[in-house]
């Protein structure tokens, strides 16, 4: 088998570019994706409770 690994050091500008890209990706995830996921989960739960109350009736003892 032939060793194709490159033992040279990476250029000096490469790590900072990778770090900047990671920070941008983290910012997008933290500012846009996670809030949408959180609102979707809470909204989905509220919708499920609402639909179950429409089908099963409100919580509490039966009227009578």
The pLDDT confidence band at residue 20, using thresholds 50, 70 and 90, is very high
Q: Is pLDDT at 51 greater than 80 in this prediction?
A: yes
Q: Is pLDDT at 64 greater than 80 in this prediction?
A: no
Convert the pLDDT of each residue in 23-46 to its tens digit. Answer: 999 999 999 999 999 999 999 999
pLDDT score at 6: 60
pLDDT score at 61: 87
pLDDT score at 62: 78
Q: Calculate the alpha carbon distances from 14 to 6, 17, 21, 24 in Å.
A: 15, 5, 11, 16
């Amino acid at each position: 088998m032939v060793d194709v690994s490159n033992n040279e050091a990476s250029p000096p500008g490469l790590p900072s570019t990778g770090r900047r890209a990671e920070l941008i990706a983290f910012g997008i995830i933290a500012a846009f994706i996670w809030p949408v996921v959180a609102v979707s989960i809470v909204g989905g739960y509220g919708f499920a409770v609402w639909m179950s109350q429409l089908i099963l009736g409100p919580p509490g003892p039966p009227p009578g």
